Amino acid sequence: MALYHLWEREVPFIRQLEGAGFEVVRNPHGRCCREDELIAILPGVFATVAGVEPYTDRVFQAAPDLRVVARYGVGYDMIDVAAATRHGVIIAMAFGTNHEAVADCTLALMTALVRSIVTNHLRMKSGGWRATMSPGLWRATVGIIGLGRIGKAVARRCRGFDMEILAYEPVQDAGFARQYGVSYVSLEELLRRSDIVTVHAPHTPATDNMINRDTLALMKPGAFLINTARGGLVEEGALYEALTSGRLAGAGLDVFKVEPPVGSALLTLDNVVLSPHIAGADLPTEVRVADRCIESISALARGENPGSEYLLNPEVLKTERWIGSVRKS
């Protein structure tokens, strides 16, 4: 049995799972499951196609049949990987499938903000004609926090706007930097110099609230902030203050600390452009991500290793629960 956690509409890959011999159980709640709801659904489930519901130690303890969590995406901050490993549950990821879509959305948010697209659109819809002038994207300085797959995809797009590209990234790729004119700098220098700061770091205890009152104070007055990574990277109260005080000109946000962000003060601001955690999903990407999840689940069900590069905890395949059931390494 496979549990599917994306709920808004029927999609072809549900039928692919059924064709592979799985009985598919859909999340009945019309939203992301809470911990207790997830626990109630999981008995008898071999694998899940997981969104951003919480896979905690308590969930794994209550799900003795669960063998695979196939993450529909590349972030895993809602999964207790250590707990999964203790319980012999494989965490399969869709690495390499959605970074181009996230980069597209990042540039769309940049453009919407810096060119006042939404402001001018709403003014015209209400009968106005006066335009809000903008600083423009051409040859702006962009700071990319996190130069992994997504950050690199953003940098390639920024090169087309002849931007000066700064990057803060602990693991540096000198060849990529030379090819695309990227300068590695400290986080402090990036914040001080950038007209636009875009965040693409993973959410970990070390990066929690890395954009906070102190780091926002380092940013250039009138700069823009984009976050298509994780809501936990940004201290939202401090961001609201920076946006209402005029220190920042605007923010483009696809992710939030609590999703959906019902009642968030950020939703009341005219200088914020919002999207509902959709940066990594467009129609072609949906197919790629789904195929990767299905391939991993199906391979593991057949007793095959889908590729350790897609597994967060491949060492689980060597445990008693899996030895003898996986034929390929």
What are the backbone dihedrals phi and psi of residue 142, each rounded to the nearest 5 degrees, phi first?
-110, 135
CATH code, domain with 25 = 3.40.50.720
pLDDT higher than threshold 50 for residue 14: yes
Please state the pTM of the whole predicted model: 0.87
50 and 177 housed in the same domain: no
* Residue 315 CA from chain centroid, whole number: 25
Quote the pLDDT of residue 19: 80
The residue with greater pLDDT, 22 or 307, is 307
Report the pLDDT averaged over residues 3-13: 54
Residues 120 and 230 in one domain: yes
261 and 301, same structural domain?
no
Active site residue 235: no
Residue 148 lies in a domain: yes
286 in a structural domain: yes
Q: Is 100 a residue of the active site?
A: no
Residue 329 lies in a domain: no
Q: Does 93 share its domain with 103?
A: no
**Together in a domain, 50 and 82:** yes
pLDDT score at 66: 96
Among candidate residues 200, 230, 286, 295, the one labeled active-site is: 230
**The predicted structure's pLDDT at residue 63:** 95
Q: What is the pLDDT of residue 7?
A: 43
Q: What band does 276 get if pLDDT is binned at 50, 70 and 90?
A: very high
By percentage, how much of the chain surpasses pLDDT 70? 95
Is residue 86 included in any domain, yes or no? yes
Cβ(10)–Cβ(32) below 8 Å: no
Checking if the pLDDT of 176 tops 70, the result is yes
CB atoms inside a 10 Å sphere around CB 32: 20
**245 and 218 together in one domain:** yes
Please tell me the total count of domains within the chain.
2
Task: Examine residue 252 and state whether it is found in any structural domain, yes or no.
Answer: yes
83 and 227 assigned to the same domain: no
262 within some domain: yes
Can you give the residue range of the structural domain that contains 215?
99-274
Report which of residues 138 and 13 the model is more confident about.
138
Could you tell me if 126 and 184 lie in one domain? Answer: yes
Do residues 33 and 84 share a domain? yes
Tell me what the pLDDT averaged over the chain comes to: 92
Instruction: Find, among 304, 306, 278, 302, the residue nearest to 292 by Cα.
Output: 306
Choosing from 58, 259, 302, 321, the catalytic residue is 259
Q: pLDDT per residue over 187-225, tens digit each?
A: 999 999 999 999 999 999 999 999 999 999 999 999 999
Check residue 18 and give its pLDDT: 82
Q: Which range is least confidently modeled, 15-24, 78-87, 124-133?
A: 15-24
Predicted confidence at residue 271, as pLDDT, reads: 96
pLDDT of residue 30: 77
Confidence (pLDDT) at 158 = 98
Q: Answer whether 228's CB lies under 8 Å from 109's CB.
A: yes
The share of the chain scoring above pLDDT 90, in percent, equals 79
Q: Which of 28-32, 70-74, 119-123, 146-150 has the lowest mean pLDDT?
A: 28-32
Residue 325 lies in a domain: no
Q: Give per-residue pLDDT as tens, 102-118.
A: 999 999 999 999 999 99
Query: Do 52 and 150 have their domain in common?
Result: no
Q: 142 with 255, same domain?
A: yes
Residue 43 is assigned to a structural domain of this protein: yes
Q: Is 87 marked active-site?
A: no
State the Cα–Cα distance between residues 310 and 245, nearest whole angstrom.
44
pLDDT at 301: 92
Q: Which of 99, 193, 200, 277 is catalytic?
A: 277
| Nearest-angstrom CA–CA distance, 157 and 100 | 10
Residues 103, 252, single domain; the answer is yes
Give the per-residue pLDDT at 324: 67
- Given a contact cutoff of 8 angstroms between Cβ atoms, the answer to whether 44 and 1 are in contact is yes
pLDDT of residue 26: 83
**Segment of 1-5, 203-207, 211-215, 297-301 carrying the highest mean pLDDT:** 211-215
d(CA 183, CA 265): 35
